[in-house]
Structures are given as C-alpha cells and as structure tokens.
Structure 1
Amino acid sequence: MPPLSSLRPAISRARLTGRNGQATVMPRLRVPMSAYVVDCGVYIDGRRLPGRWTHDAAIDEVRERGEGFVWIGLHEPTEEQITGIAETFGLHELAVEDAVHAHNRPKLERYDDTLFMVLKTVCYVGHAEPTTTNEIVETGEVQAFVGRDFVVTVRHGKHSGLHDVRRRLEDDPEQLALGPAAVLHAIADHVVDSYLEVVEAIEDDIDVIEAEVFAPRTTMDPEQIYVMKREILELRRAVMPLLKPLRKITEGYSSLIPHEVRSYFRDVEDHLSSVAERVAGFNELLTTLVDAVLAKVSMRQNTDMRKITAYAALITVPTMFAGIYGMNFDFMPELHWKFGYPLLIVVILLLCGLLARNFRKNGWL
C-alpha cells in the first residue's frame, strides 16, 4: 500500500483575515502520516468505498454523505503525529495523552460524544520447556476512540495487529453496517479470544509443571514456579480490569453502543468471565504447587539430615575408642596383650554394624 502522504498533501487550512476583511486560506504543513497510519477506510452501509484516503478526506466524505463512518488505524504514534488526527476527530486531550504513552489499565471513559476504551493484548511466547523459560506472556495495548461517525484505533506492541479483524468485518457487511460500535465489539471479541488461546497454552504448561512436581525423585526449583506465577499475574492484570468496562457497555453506558450491539458484548463478557475464573484458578494452583515443592524440599532436607546424623553416629564409635586409648595413663586394660588391638577393631566394627543395621531398618540410611 503506497504511503498515504503520497496520495494527498498532508496539509490543513488555516483561515487568516486580510486587510480587506476577507478570509484567506493559507496551507500549513503537518507531520507525514505514512510512518504510523496503518489503514484508513470509509464504510457506507457496511461496505468499504474504493480508493485510499487521508483522515481529513475520509471524514469529509462521510459527513458530506451524512452516513457511514471512518475507521483509521494507528501504530504507536507520537504526540506530535497524532495531534492532527485528534483535532480532526475532536478527541479529548487526556485520552490522546493516554493513547500516546500507553501503559494503561483496561478501562472505558466517556468524553462528551466520544468513547475511549483501553484493552490489554496478550501473546503467548513459545518455549521449549515451561520450567526454564523467563517470559511466557507478552503484553501490548489497543486503544479505541469511538464516535458517531468514526473509529480511531491506536496499537502498541508487535502482536496486537487488527488486520484480521478489519478483514473479517469487511467480509460481513451486515455486521459492519451497525457502525463504529460493531468495530469496537469486534476488537474486544478479538482480544478476549486471544486471552482464551493464551490461557489454554498456559494450562498445558501448568500441567507439565504439576506432573513434574508430584513425580517421584524429581527436583523442581520453586523459583521456576514463581516465574510462572509472575506471568499469571501479568495475564490477570490484563483480564480482570476489563470485566467492569464490558459490564458498563452491556448496561447501556453510552448511546454510542446501540441495543443490538450490546447483546454481542454480553457474549464477550461471558467469555471474559470464563477466562477470569481460569486465571484465578491458575493462581491458586500455582500457590499450591509452590507449597508442594517447598514441602518436598523440606522432606529432602530432613532425609539428608537423618543420613548425616546416622553417619555421624557411626563415626562416633571409633572416635570414642580412639579418644579413650589416646589418653596417656600408665594402667589401661589390654595395653600389653597381643590380641588387644585386633579385639578392639572387632568391637568397633561390631558396634558400627549394629548401628548401621538399626539405621537402615528405620529408614535413616
């Protein structure tokens, strides 16, 4: 797709008053759009108009017709780059600041006749072993400005693309004809579906960890489970706060979301509730696994201490005899008997053997 800036000069018109009182139009250069505008389309009756559009031309076309809407997608724009679009669509400066800097919690806010929604995107990071990986969940953001005749989406992150969402909607004109609210629903549905995929992949990883924890004679480092627990908390921070915004939409928070679209949002809310329950279950299960690993470590340490104690007891017997006969007394038994030394060795071995047999019988060795 050729750069949008090459199709139409990126200028806006500022009106100045001349000496004769007549308004004159002077061009004003703007920041090129090609670097951060992913796509810009005009939709009438659910169908995309042919051609390529700048945001100015697109919204002018829609408002001249008095129907349809504009969907413009941005990827990680700077504050300077988004300024022209914000002026054209009348976006609130606070919402624009959030869209530029990202790192927001999922939320839904209303600014006059515009809705601003933030969704956290997640991506499962493939790895060979779930017990050795450092990162499993990668996060990004999608922000959506929804007006009566426009949708502006701002993406942050490499994995948060909406190309497939746009293509599916364009293949379903009946759904797209419902307006900007249908686009917001499709985005929310896409994000929640990605949650389901990530949850299923993580569930497989947790099953592997659980099997290794409870397998006999295995050594699992608790730190490996802490890494997984940290990733679950990252996923939880993306999932849990989104429940409230979706509930607000289904309850009729804004007239920008018509009744027929709110019913679709209820389905998304149900899926998100299911994801939230599974994530909460993962967190509890990992806590249990940490306790199990710590218990195994404690049992292993106790076993090691028993063995060390048993060997120390065995060493005590010859040490005791050596200590006694190492004393420099003149009169000690069997010092001058030729069988004294062999007898002493036999006694030591006999006592050590009895101790070793007793320790093995009790499971200490």
Structure 2
Amino acid sequence: MPKKKPTLQSHFTDAVSSIGKLVAAPIHFVKPKKPTVARKIASSPGIEHAKGVDTPPEDNSIPIQCIDYGKGGFEKKDFSNITEALAHPRPDWGGHRWINIEGLHPFIINELRKAYDFHTLAAEDVLHIPQRPKLELYDTHSLVIIDMVRIKEEVLASEQVSIIVIGDILITFQESKGDVWDPIRTRIQNPDSRFRRYPIWYLGYALIDAIVDNIYPILERYGDVLNDLEEEAMEDPKPSIQQQIYLIKRELYALRRSFWPVRELTSKLTFDETSPVEKKVRVYMRDVHDHSLQIIELVESSREMCNSLQDFYISVVSNRMNEVMKALTIMAGLFMPITFLAGLYGMNFEHIPELSWKYSYPVFWGACITCTATLLIYFKRKGWIGK
C-alpha cells in the first residue's frame, strides 16, 4: 500500500507540535554512575586505614564462592563469611583455587590480603573505584583491573572487576552480584577441560575473554537501535530521535574509554617479556588481544554511524522545515493580492469611485478569484506546487 503523501496541514501540525515533543521526548536507557569509594586527599596509602576495615559485614550479605579444581577433581563451596572461606582446607588432590567475592568490603579485602600476602596498594585499588583498566605486576602476584559491561533491565551497567593471581590461587572481586562467568563455571566441571590441565592463568584468560566477548552482543544491539532510528528519522523525524542519538554516543564513548586500556593490558600479558602468563596460555591471551582491537574498531564504527545519523536527521528536519516554509510562503503569496485589494477598498476615504458602483461587489470578488487562480497556475508551472 503506497504511503500517504504529506499534506500542508500535516507539515503545519508537525511544526507546531514539535515544541511539545521536545518536552515529552523519551530518554534512551542510561544508568547514572555509581558512587565511588573515594580516597581522602593526602591520606595514608594502602587499605589498613580504610573506613570499616575492622568491622566484618553481616553473614550472607556478600556472596563468597570458592572453587577448587585440577586433575584430581572439582569442588565448589559457598560461604556466608570470609572467615569460613579462609578456614576451608584445600583438597588432598591439590589443584587450583578460585575465590570469587561479589561485593566490595574493606574487611573482606583486608582479610584476604593478610591471608595471601598481596600488596596493600593492590588491595587499595580493588576497594577504591573506579580504576582505569590496567595490569599491575608485583614480586609474587599480579593484579588485573577491567570493566565488566552488561545490560540489566534495559540499563547499561558497568562495574569494576579485579583479578589477583598468586601462585595457583586466583581471586576475583566484583562490585555487585551477578556476572558473565556461568559458562566458565560449567566448563571447569568437565574433567577433560583445559582448566584441569593448564596453569591458573588459563582461568584468568577465560575470565577476561568472557568480559571482552560480552561486548559483542551489546554493540550488535546498538547497531539495531541505530538502524531503527535511521528508519524512524526518515519516516518521522521526531525531536526525541536526536536525544537518543546523543545518549547512544555518550554510552559508546564510555565503552571506548573502558576498553581502550584493555588493548594495552592484553598486549602486556601476551607480548611483554615480564608477563606472568605462561607461554602456552599466551596463545589464548593473544586471541583476547585481537578481540579487544576488534571491539575498539566496532565502537569507533558505531560512533561514526551516530555522527552520520545525526547529520542525516538534521538534513531531514531541514528539508521538512523547508517544505513547511515553502507551504507558508505559497499561502502568503496567494493571499497577498487579496489582502492588498481588501486594504485598498477598506480605507476611509470619502471619494472612491468604485464604492458607489452597482456591480462593485461582484467585480471585487472576481478580481480576487482571478488573482488567486493566476498565481496558482503560475506556481504550478514553476513546479512549486504538486511535487
């Protein structure tokens, strides 16, 4: 069915109602930045003097999970507090241990620091958010900080994830509950998986890889939204479209800022001579590095698409405004001679010859109709009407 051609009335109605649309325009999904655990100026470095470092949280308020795995078997335990988790003995068959903390609390971080003897500055970086994604190498351990981005309930949510690797122990700290690592937990249970045969850094690679790969569906969703906005801008360029484009650009900029350092981080883990990652794991880490480069390119491509869509929207709005101005100009041109005649014979001069003439009224109407018809024919031949 052919689309209905826009009329002068529709252009005029859209132009008048656009002011109201600016007020009632919908807002694209965006989540305000979380409050940070900020350091005081000139405070002592480290976590020992952090507020609440000596006060344990309530039991079960922060989920703590411990996974022991290796060639000898697999064991997963959930604990209500950090004391129970640290007291849990390692299995007789040894293997690797993964401790996951879903929440940031100074007491828990400090207890883990004392138990596994990692640097107090590393503990401080875990607690004080947000940190720039980075890799910190210490004598006996390593710290990786990366942003985990997800869409939860139509909201773009980003949280800091800290990974500490000490020997055959890997500790992860999350800001809140929930992550993208459930497939990894399932794979670890498989006796034939590489997790059982490879060093602990293979788990570190898998965790980083899951965070990076989770960006692909998010970028695909942004692409779908931008395509829908392009079609909507072509059919009905509402003011809310420009707002959504701006908000998408802002969120893409946040993604770029979060994942630009990941390229440097994965490069150090893969190619640097001081990298703590074993050689047979670096091959897999190189794949993450390639994915990080692809994501940056996709983000840049999406940002360019936003700029093009914004220019397209402005062009469409300008064309529609030109159509409205053209319609109003034609209307003014049609009524201009009639207005002139009405103004001329509406003057209060005493001696106007035509006023006393018997046929003056029908002649006046004939002159008005003739002028209007002549202008319509002229505009039609010029192509200003009917196209």
Q: How high is the TM-score relative to the length of structure 1? A: 0.79
Deviations 1:290-329 (A, max 9, x none): 0000111111111111111221222222221122122233
- Asked whether 1:48 is paired with 2:69, we answer no
Residue correspondence of structure 1 range 155-174 to structure 2 within 5 A: 155-171=174-190, 172-174=192-194
- Asked whether 1:92 is paired with 2:112, we answer no
Q: Tell me, in whole angstroms, the C-alpha distance in 2 between the residues paired with 1:46 and 1:105.
A: 38
Of 165, 180, 204, which aligns to 1:146? 165
Deviations 1:221-264 (A, max 9, x none): 31122222222223222322211100111113545311111110
**Bigger shift: residues 37-46 or 71-80:** 37-46
Deviations 1:97-133 (A, max 9, x none): 2222332222111122211111211223566xxxxxx
Match of 1:111 in 2: 138
CA contact (8 A) 2:259 2:292 kept: yes
Match of 1:213 in 2: 233
Change (3 A) 1:31 1:332: closer
> 1:61 Cα deviation (Å)?
4.1
Structure 2 SS opposite 1:192: helix
Structure 2 SS opposite 1:314: helix
Of 302, 306, 321, which aligns to 1:301? 321
Q: Tell me, in whole angstroms, the C-alpha distance in 1 between the residues paired with 2:105 and 2:308.
A: 45
Q: Tell me, in whole angstroms, the C-alpha distance in 1 between the residues paired with 2:75 and 2:238.
A: 62
Residue correspondence of structure 1 range 144-293 to structure 2 within 5 A: 144-171=163-190, 172-215=192-235, 219=238, 221-252=241-272, 254-293=274-313
Identical residues among aligned pairs (%)? 27
Q: Which runs of 5+ in 2 are unaligned?
A: 1-53
Deviations 1:174-202 (A, max 9, x none): 43332221111010111122112222222
Deviations 1:248-291 (A, max 9, x none): 11113545311111110011111222222111101001100000
Q: Tell me, in whole angstroms, the C-alpha distance in 2 between the residues paired with 1:323 and 1:202.
A: 59
CA contact (8 A) 1:40 1:73 kept: yes
Change (3 A) 1:126 1:56: closer
Structure 2 SS opposite 1:335: helix
CA contact (8 A) 2:230 2:309 kept: yes
Change (3 A) 1:309 1:78: same
**Bigger shift: residues 139-148 or 246-255:** 246-255
> 1:93 Cα deviation (Å)?
2.1
CA contact (8 A) 1:148 1:256 kept: no
In terms of Rg, which structure is larger? 1
Match of 1:69 in 2: 96
Q: Tell me, in whole angstroms, the C-alpha distance in 2 between the residues paired with 1:301 and 1:138.
A: 38
Q: How high is the TM-score relative to the length of structure 2? A: 0.75
Q: Tell me, in whole angstroms, the C-alpha distance in 1 between the residues paired with 2:356 and 2:313.
A: 59
Match of 2:25 in 1: none
CA contact (8 A) 2:132 2:261 kept: yes
User: Cα RMSD between the aligned structures?
Assistant: 2.8
- Highest RCO, 1 vs 2 (Cα 8 Å, sep ≥ 6): 2
Deviations 1:128-158 (A, max 9, x none): xxxxxxx4x3222221001112111011244
Of 122, 128, 135, which aligns to 2:149? 122
**Counterpart residue type for residue 324 of structure 1:** L
Change (3 A) 1:37 1:126: closer
- Asked whether 1:328 is paired with 2:348, we answer yes
Deviations 1:49-106 (A, max 9, x none): 5877844345x748x99x6432111011211222111111112222222222332222
Q: How many residues align?
A: 326
Q: Tell me, in whole angstroms, the C-alpha distance in 1 between the residues paired with 2:274 and 2:101.
A: 24
CA contact (8 A) 1:162 1:187 kept: yes
Q: Tell me, in whole angstroms, the C-alpha distance in 2 between the residues paired with 1:50 and 1:212.
A: 50
Q: Tell me, in whole angstroms, the C-alpha distance in 2 between the residues paired with 1:156 and 1:87.
A: 21
CA contact (8 A) 2:101 2:173 kept: yes
**Bigger shift: residues 230-239 or 260-269:** 230-239
**Counterpart residue type for residue 165 of structure 2:** V
Of 103, 106, 111, which aligns to 1:79? 106
Q: Which runs of 5+ in 1 are unaligned?
A: 1-27, 128-134
Of 62, 66, 72, which aligns to 1:36? 62
Structure 1 SS opposite 2:144: strand
Change (3 A) 1:99 1:44: same
**Bigger shift: residues 247-256 or 155-164:** 155-164
**Bigger shift: residues 236-245 or 174-183:** 174-183
